Amino acid sequence: MPRAVSAKLSRQHEPAAGLRPGSARTAASNPNAAHASNQNSSATTKNPIFNTDKFGQHILKNPLVAQGIVDKANLKPTDMVLEVGPGTGNLTVRILEKAKKTTVVEMDPRMAAELSKRVQGK
């Protein structure tokens, strides 16, 4: 099945505040860079690693898709899994049934709280 490529996700990384890789220019030497850094400062203040304003969230709701992913992963009871962006844990719950240990990383505190409730005691 062909995959659709989102225009948002297919963009290349943009250098910070007017700096280009290998360049020694600073915001002080580039007046446009100072303006660019002011525009990005609110997003950077919210989350210094990711600018979440540019990306949406997709919640995996279809249980058949979640089970299909776990089946294709061919997890063994000795496997350790790292899941990035588990959301509400629809996939995580199925991974926990198969793998020895699962580590999840969720940056949205609301999703992390929901996930904690769902997997507590499992």
Write out the binding residues for S-adenosyl-L-methionine: 58, 60, 85, 106
- Residue 97 amino acid letter: E
Q: Give the helix ranges, DSSP H, for the chain.
A: 7-10, 31-46, 63-73, 90-98, 109-119
Q: How many C-beta atoms lie closer than 10 Å to residue 49's C-beta?
A: 7
Contact assessment for residue 111 and residue 81, using Cβ atoms and an 8 Å cutoff: no
The token pair that represents 96 in the structure block: 């926990």
